[in-house]
Chains A and B, each alone.
Chain A
Amino acid sequence: ETGVTQTPRHLVMGMTNKKSLKCEQHLGHNAMYWYKQSAKKPLELMFVYSLEERVENNSVPSRFSPECPNSSHLFLHLHTLQPEDSALYLCASSQDTTSAFNEQFFGPGTRLTVL
């Protein structure tokens, strides 16, 4: 595996379900990110982790819960979601979060549908 991988690629869940999204980066980076992409809207940054420590939480509802057990893995735990949470969820990684020259590399995304 190379780059940034995400599983599952597609997920359909009911509003009462609990599910998790997984991201893994094989680039030796120290920072990982969760983004939400809805149709015709800019990418919305949800969470940022640097060396397994959360450094940013952009007022995301508590029904989204991130977990970063190490610098290569990032999870997004989902529970009691709403239909408006249906979107493409993208994971990204970068070398660090301290540099202004911060190239981020994206995974393929998880297409989430909440019924």
Chain B
Amino acid sequence: QKEVEQNSGPLSVPEGAIASLNCTYSDRGSQSFFWYRQYSGKSPELIMFIYSNGDKEDGRFTAQLNKASQYVSLLIRDSQPSDSATYLCAVNEVTTDSWGKLQFGAGTQVVVTP
């Protein structure tokens, strides 16, 4: 069973600080990695994706990928109360028929405190 693991949290972060979220995955063949944000009672919305080892920055968000260690992380700089949500890590699962299926983690709840 291919798995995507995340700490469930809650991760409490003071306003203005950096929130650091981690995700590990079991399928070494995975090629693409996605971070979704899900507010309570709402659907997931894509905030970042990363395909290559290293860092990718988009505004206050930085995704970091290390395929050798099989982890992907998300940093949220200058955290705001509006960042309080559950963050889902999703990993492309490579199958024999080359169809790209996303495997989701259970999510990390982030709470930004004023």
Q: Using a CB–CB distance below 8 Å, which chain A residues touch chain B?
A: 40-43, 45, 48, 55-56, 88, 90, 97-109
Contact = CB atoms under 8 A, between A and B. Distances in A.
7 contacts: A40-B8, A41-B106, A43-B44, A101-B32, A102-B32, A103-B49, A104-B34
Given A45-B102, A48-B101, A103-B46, 20 more contacts: A40-B8, A42-B105, A42-B106, A43-B44, A45-B101, A55-B99, A98-B99, A98-B100, A100-B32, A100-B92, A100-B98, A101-B32, A101-B49, A101-B100, A102-B32, A102-B102, A104-B34, A104-B90, A104-B102, A107-B43
B102 A56 contact: no
Interface in B73-110: 88, 90, 92, 94, 98-107
A25 to B, nearest CB: 13
A56 B94 CA distance: 14
Given A100-B92, A101-B31, A106 B44 contact: yes
Contacts of B94: 100
Nearest to A6: B43
Which 7 A-B residue pairs are closest in the complex by CB-CB distance? A102-B100, A43-B104, A100-B31, A106-B43, A42-B104, A100-B100, A42-B106
